């Protein structure tokens, strides 16, 4: 696979391009039609013909992408691959609350083995790849004296590195200060090879623990030079204010682009006077946000009567203020989301509705929540369909993002370093009327 030419790919929803790839790296983007035409049917045959004709240019595989929408690999910026596919075990979450989910998981966690974690995570990743995902940030619960899930997913990160980029966050589900040896477990996770450090300030026993847990996690991330991604204020309590501590530490250390606040659902309930004050700090800090609109519309507002809060963070206002926000699914078939599929199209759709980002430009730009914005959250380098970058991209059965979003266009092909990692044929549909 030395040289490949991908023809007629629709970039940015507007530009029809040809793309040259050498040894898995994009070397050139040019207007469609500017690269030599080849038989559309068979790339292998084309290579053979080029070789037989002994043409001057090196033989190239030619792929016609037929003017279909091409995007860089989708970024899942927040999922839990240790808990995936455990829904109903030991029992379903009947209250639909975060807290019941944590209790159920705490039971299930006792049965973890490396083989169990890897088998379920692989199944979830296959679903994600089906929907175009190539980059995944997974939280992994490290409030387990054996760190079974983390060890297993570190192995899987290596085993699947040619298929997906897997980032692992050491996530203290049951607390840093409020769980036995929580601090030591988090440190051990950093030593074992986690990519990022997490925290859960709204779950700690006290406000003081909430602040000290964030300081401990922040210092640890600095010491090990790791990214940070905190489950931050995932509660309908307007007094939950871990975010201000996290953003202040990030601002003062000048590391905002490496720090992420996930969920921040309490921000939905903050009074506007406080929010306006906070927004200035958030802008100054440069931290990233991940919203999980599907799961948080399900989990939040559960102790409200009516009216019921939506409990999704202020995506519209943060975005308008120039702050980076990406979307995640959070859960695929586990105690917090029985119906997660791995499709970030579903998440984006719900996100647009629930945050009322339904203006024309907001809809047309919404792919950014699960592509470029996600890449920024994950601190990815070389993410884009551009010369010099790895040929990591997907082809959707649609002529525009709006069409893909509205009509749930399937992913037809997914390429990673120029290698086809997934393909599906466009469904044939017949209407008998």
The binding track of 95-134 with respect to ligand 17E, each residue x by CB under 6 A or -, is ---x------------------------------------
Contact between residue 17 and residue 31 where contact means Cβ atoms under 8 Å apart? yes
Nearer to Fe ion, 330 or 413 (CB): 330
Q: Could you say which of 234, 238, 252, 423 is catalytic?
A: 234
- Give yes or no for residue 82 binding Fe ion (CB under 5 A): no
Which of 63, 68, 80, 376 binds ligand 17E (CB under 6 A)? It is 80
Intra-chain end-to-end CA distance of the chain, in Å: 46
Alpha-carbon distance of 72 to 133, in angstroms, equals: 9
CB 404 within 8 A of CB 345: yes
**What H or E segment, with its residue span, contains residue 211?**
helix 207-223
Query: d(Cα 282, Cα 241) in Å, to the nearest integer?
Result: 13
Tell me the per-residue interface mask from 328 to 367 with Fe ion, x by CB under 5 A, - otherwise: --x-------------------------------------
Exposure string over 165-180, b if 16+ CB within 10 A, otherwise e: bbbbbbbbbbbbbbbe
With contact defined as beta carbons under 8 Å apart, do 68 and 10 qualify? yes
Q: Which residues, numbered 2-21, are part of the site for ligand 17E (CB under 6 A)?
A: none
- Asked if 234 is an active-site residue, the reply is yes
- Walk across the sheet containing 70-72 and list its strands: 70-72, 393-396, 411-416, 419-423
Which positions from 290 through 309 interact with ligand 17E, judged by CB under 6 A? 295
**Chain residue whose CB lies nearest Fe ion:** 330
Of 68, 108, 120, 231, the one binding ligand 17E by CB under 6 A = 231
> For residues 127-186, which are near ligand 17E according to CB under 6 A?
173
Residue 230 found at the interface with ligand 17E (CB under 6 A): no
Question: Residue 26 CB, nearest distance to ligand 17E (Å)?
Answer: 36
Q: Exactly one of 131, 209, 251, 336 binds ligand 17E (CB under 6 A); which one?
A: 336
For Fe ion, the closer of residues 195 and 330 by Cβ is 330
CA distance 11 to 153: 34
Considering only 204, 331, 346, 413, the residue that binds ligand 17E (CB under 6 A) is 331
Number of residues that bind ligand 17E (CB under 6 A): 10
Which tokens belong to 77? 């910026």
Q: Using CA atoms, how far apart are residues 299 and 429, in angstroms rounded to an integer?
A: 37
Q: Give the interface segment with Fe ion, choosing from 7-15, 315-323, 325-333, 382-390 (CB under 5 A).
A: 325-333
* The Cα angle at residue 239 between residues 376 and 215, in degrees rounded to 5: 55
Nearer to Fe ion, 43 or 221 (CB): 221
85-112 per-residue burial string, b: 16 or more CB within 10 A, e: under 16: bbbeeeeebeebbbebbbebbeebbeeb
Which residue in the shown chain puts its C-beta closest to ligand 17E?
Answer: 336
Question: Both tokens of residue 146?
Answer: 């054996």
The partner in contact with residue 295, picked from Fe ion, ligand 17E, none with C-beta cut-offs of 5 to 8 angstroms by kind, is ligand 17E
Nearer to Fe ion, 370 or 391 (CB): 370
Q: Which helix (H) or strand (E) holds 48?
A: helix 43-53
Q: How many residues bind Fe ion (CB under 5 A)?
A: 1
DSSP code per residue over 275-333? HHHHHHHHHHHT-EEEE-HHHHHHHTTTT--SSPP-----HHHHHHTT--EEE--B-SS
Between 336 and 401, name the residue whose CB sits nearer to ligand 17E.
336
Contact call for residue 330 and ligand 17E (CB under 6 A): yes
Segment interacting with Fe ion (CB under 5 A) among 116-124, 147-155, 270-278, 323-331: 323-331
Based on the shown chain and the rule CB under 6 A, indicate whether residue 348 belongs to the binding site for ligand 17E.
Answer: no
Nearer to Fe ion, 82 or 330 (CB): 330
Q: Which among 302-310, 322-330, 410-418, 424-432 is the span making contact with Fe ion, rule CB under 5 A?
A: 322-330
Residues 19 and 29: beta-carbon distance below 8 Å: yes
174 binds Fe ion (CB under 5 A): no
Residues 6+ apart with CB under 8 A from 316: 355, 356, 357
Phi, psi of 222, deg, nearest 5: -65, -45
Residue 98 binds: one of ligand 17E, Fe ion, none (C-beta under 5 to 8 A by kind): ligand 17E
The residues that touch Fe ion, with contacts defined as CB under 5 A, are 330
Q: What residues are labeled active site?
A: 234
């Amino acid at each position: 696979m030395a040289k490949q030419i991908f023809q007629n790919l629709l970039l940015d929803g507007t530009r029809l391009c040809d793309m040259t790839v050498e040894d898995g790296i994009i070397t050139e983007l040019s207007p469609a039609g500017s690269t030599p035409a080849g038989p559309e049917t068979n790339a292998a045959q084309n290579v053979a013909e080029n070789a037989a004709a002994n043409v001057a240019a090196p033989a190239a595989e030619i792929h016609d992408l037929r003017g279909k929408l091409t995007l860089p690999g989708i970024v899942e910026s927040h999922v839990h691959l240790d808990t995936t596919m455990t829904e109903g075990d030991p029992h379903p979450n009947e209250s639909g609350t975060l807290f019941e989910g944590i209790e159920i998981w705490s039971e299930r966690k006792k049965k973890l083995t490396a083989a169990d974690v890897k088998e379920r995570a692989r199944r979830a990743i296959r679903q994600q790849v089906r929907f175009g995902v190539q980059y995944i940030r997974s939280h992994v619960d490290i409030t387990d004296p054996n760190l079974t899930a983390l060890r297993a997913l570190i192995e899987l990160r290596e085993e699947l590195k040619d298929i997906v980029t897997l980032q692992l966050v050491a996530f203290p589900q049951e607390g840093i200060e409020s769980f036995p040896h929580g601090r030591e477990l988090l440190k051990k996770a950093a030593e074992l090879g986690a990519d990022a450090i997490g925290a859960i300030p709204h779950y700690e026993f006290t406000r003081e623990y909430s602040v000290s847990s964030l300081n401990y996690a922040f210092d640890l991330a600095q010491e090990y030079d790791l990214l940070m991604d905190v489950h931050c204020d995932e509660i309908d309590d307007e007094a939950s204010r871990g975010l201000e501590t996290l953003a202040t530490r990030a601002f003062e250390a000048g590391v905002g682009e490496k720090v992420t606040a996930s969920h921040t659902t309490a921000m939905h309930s903050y009074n506007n006077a406080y929010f306006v004050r906070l927004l200035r700090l958030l802008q100054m800090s440069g931290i990233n946000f991940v919203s999980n609109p599907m799961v948080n519309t399900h989990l939040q507002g559960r102790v409200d009567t009516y009216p019921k809060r939506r409990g999704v963070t202020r995506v519209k206002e943060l975005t308008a203020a120039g702050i980076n926000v990406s979307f995640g699914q959070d859960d695929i078939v586990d105690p917090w989301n029985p119906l997660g599929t791995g499709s970030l199209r579903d998440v984006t759709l719900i996100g647009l509705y629930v945050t009322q980002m339904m203006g024309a430009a907001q809809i047309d730009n919404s792919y950014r929540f699960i592509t470029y914005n996600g890449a920024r959250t994950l601190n990815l380098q070389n993410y884009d369909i551009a010369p010099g970058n790895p040929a990591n991209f997907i082809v959707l059965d649609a002529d525009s993002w709006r069409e893909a979003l509205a009509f749930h266009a399937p992913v037809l092909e997914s390429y990673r370093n120029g290698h086809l990692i997934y393909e599906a044929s466009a469904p044939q549909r017949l209407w008998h009327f």
